[in-house]
Every structure is written in structure tokens, then in C-alpha cells.
Amino acid sequence: MSDSSPLPPARLHPDAELAREALSTPLLSRAVRLARWAGPETRVDAGGGIVDEQLPAAAEVLGLSGEEAAADAGEAWRVAVDAGLVDVVDEEEGTVTAGADLPLLTGGSPQDVLTVWLAALETVLADASVPDLEGLVDAIAAGDGTGELDLSSFDWDPEAEAEFLDGVLRNLYLLTVGEEGPAGASVPLPALAASVLVPEDMPEPTDDVLRQVSDAMMRLDDQFRMLEPVGLVEYQPVDEALLVETDEESAESGESAESGEPQDDTDVSRYGVVRLTPLGLYGLRARLLEAGFEAPAVGDLADKGADALLDGTAVFPPAAAHAETEQWLARREPLAAARELLAAARGSDKSAPLRRLQCQQALSLVGLSAEPALREVLDDAELGGLARVWLTEHGAGDVPPPSEAMIFWLTVDTVAAQLAAEGNSEELRALVEGLARQHSGFFATAWRVEHPATADVLEAMGRLHPDKKIAKEARKAAFKARSQHGG
């Protein structure tokens, strides 16, 4: 994905709501409790981690028990230090004090809280890209006796591992912002891993690629387990019983099983399912912006002109375009908004038909108070058709019937807009078939329409219509249209 191409807009929750969610995440709330617990007797090691002998006390403060209690307390402490909730006063003595950002969580703005949470997220993402500590210890023990880690012998590339996780999270972000509903997409782990590893031009993944997907799934299972407590995702882990079944089947067959490939759709959830939370959507968008991606949010166009709204929403998914337009209209008086939209919809450039389609969709959200603006353009060659449609749909009286020339112009404009928006879609194919069926002699008149896109529209109709005779009529009409305009 190029950082120069804009992503679909994110539909973010309000900052205040996101800040409340951030404060309630298990990891940040633990970090806050440790920051408030730390005092003059608290000591840290050279890396800023709380010393081993004080980890049990830290775990007790957090109400943690069991084998992972010390590790979980240590992780919460690292987040507290990295997020500015705790400051190391003297590195040699290992003393600490409350950090400057700790009071912001109760007395700062929602944006202050979210800034602290983003720092916590970075710490967890960095930890998630590191192999398990037992593996590191084993690798060092198996080394040359120097006590130093040879990454090449460990088959671990920190930069490549971080890039892989970033790629997975970018794809999860794309799947989320591309959804029509308010909730993010729940994505099976095999599909998410495959979206990064399987080349787009590969019709069927090879055995080697399937093995890579399987290995990646196991890594991602560990990583998403780590990322859930910080509030980035909701995660249903890989069913551990499935791993046992896979090992048994592999032993019986004497072959390596592809544990990353579900055998049927009914058991796909057993392979792990992940969903980006609203807080996670906010966090990944912030990281994408920091990395130089164009990652818009719904509401970015609310204070822009109608021209920016119509051009911008033309590439938005329908639900996002609807939400963006609602926010834009909410800041304006309906009659003035309608006039601004209509003015921005004029033009003979290639983008103009799509602007007019977006204008028509935006005006569908405006009430009858905008009627005067529509009546003002009834005689406009470019806007008169859509004005009549709007007035009729809103039950207005005394709407003059359109001339045949206006009907044909509006038809060409509509097909041109659909071509720009969807290309050769099934919906457009159905529209083309309907036009040819409902209007006998359509092509005999259509080629004369004084519209910049007439020839292109007729060529597309010839390309899309399944009836060879009708398709030939459309192509002949396109030739006449180009000849008429000297094209």
C-alpha cells in the first residue's frame, strides 16, 4: 500500500468516549495503579524495570496471582515508565517519582489521555515484535559462550518482524474502515495472515506459502493476545485443543500438518478471530498519519466548501460518504447548503458527472426548506434534471416536465457518473440493459446529446450490453458522436 494513496475515511468515536475507553483498558489502568503506588522505596534496574524483589509486591497491588503475575506486573510497570506516568530520578540509585503525565489522566483533556494511551500502545507493539524470553535465553545459551545474542542464528530479524506486524495491522485497519456498518470487521486469523503473505496475482497459494501462513498465524496468535489488554483489538484466540488435534493428526500421518488452513467454514473461528476496537481504530490511524499515510477521518470535510465535499466523498464507501455529508450539512442552513452544493456540481470536466451524482445524494438529506434553491435551477441545462427529480421525490407541486433533450442529457450524465464511480459493474450493466429496453430508438437520439461524455457513454454501453445487435448500435452511435464533436 503506497503512502501517497488516501485510505478510506475512519469513522472515529468522540475523543471523550475514546479517552474513557483508554482509561478502562486493563494494561493502562494497571500502569496507573503502579504509578500511584510507587514511592521512595521503589527501585528500578538499569533498564528502568522494577527490580525482581519488588515484583511480587507490585503484582499484589494489581491483584494479580499465578504464574504470569510477575510478568504482567513488569509489563504494566514498563508501560508506566514509557508513557511518562513514572520518572526515573536517579539511574544509579534506581529511584523513581511520579511522572509529569500522571496528573493528565484525571485533570487533562481527552486528547491528553489519548496521547498517554498512544505511548502505552507503542510499548506493547514493540514488545509484541520480540520473541518469547525463553527462546531468547535458549538462543544465548546455545551461542558461542560470550553471552551475546547472534540474531542471525536465532532466525529473528527485529526490523522484518516489526514490518510484518505493521503490515497485518494496516490490513486490519483497511478491512475496518471499508466496512459499511458502525462496528469493525471480525476477521479470521488465517485470512488476515494470508492477506499479507499471499501475493495478489497468485491464484492458488503454494504449499510453501501455506506453511508461511500457518507459521504467521501462530505468531499473530501470541501477538494479538498481547495487544488485547491495551485495548487495540478484541481477540478470540486459536483453540488450543485444535493444536493438539493437529499434532496428533500429523504424528499419525507422518506428515507436517498445515495448522493455519481451516478444513471447512464451520470451524474457522477455532483458528482465531480478531476485531479492531474503536480505540484501536483511533490508535492505528494516528500511527498511519505519523508514518506519512493519508488517513482521513469522517468529519474532516465538515468545514470545507461544497466542492471539497463532493470531490472527497466521491471515493468514500457509501456509509462513510453519508456520515460525512450529514456532518457537513449539520453546520449549515439547509437553503444555503443546497445552493452551495448545486453551484459546486456545475462543470463540463470529466469529474463533473460524478460531482452531480454526489450532489444529488447529498440533497436527498436536505428537507423541503431547500426547495427554493432547486427551483432556481430548473432551467439550468446541467442541473435542471436533478432538480426535477428532487422536487418530485419530495412531493413538491407544479414541477414542469423535462424536455426530451433534458431527459437524454440527464441519462448520459448519470451513466457517465456511474462509470466514474464503479467502472464496468453489474449495476451499471443492468442500467445499460434497462435503458436500451425501455427506449426504442435510444441510440438514434443519444449520439446527438450535447454532453462531453456522450461518446464515452455510448462506447461503454456497446461494451457492456450482452446483445450483440444492440451493442453494435451503441458503437455506431459512439462513432457518430465523436464525428459530431470532431473527436
Position 487 scores a pLDDT of: 56
What residues contact residue 187 under an 8 Å CB cut-off, 6+ apart? Answer: 172, 175, 273, 274, 275
Do the beta carbons of residue 189 and residue 225 sit within 8 Å? no
pLDDT at 355 over 80: yes
Question: pLDDT tens for residues 260-291?
Answer: 455 454 567 788 999 999 999 999 999 999 99
- Name the residue type at position 355: R
CA–CA distance, 129 with 227 (Å, rounded to integer): 11
Question: pLDDT tens for residues 61-92?
Answer: 999 999 999 999 999 999 999 999 999 999 88
CA–CA distance, 41 with 181 (Å, rounded to integer): 51
pLDDT at 257 over 70: no
CA–CA distance, 110 with 83 (Å, rounded to integer): 15
Question: pLDDT tens for residues 299-328?
Answer: 999 999 999 999 999 989 888 999 999 999
Do the beta carbons of residue 88 and residue 44 sit within 8 Å? yes
Burial of 438 (0-12, 13-18, 19+ CB in 10 A): exposed
pLDDT at 138 over 70: no
Which residues make beta-bridge pairs with 44?
50
Cell of 60: 499484589
Position 428 scores a pLDDT of: 83
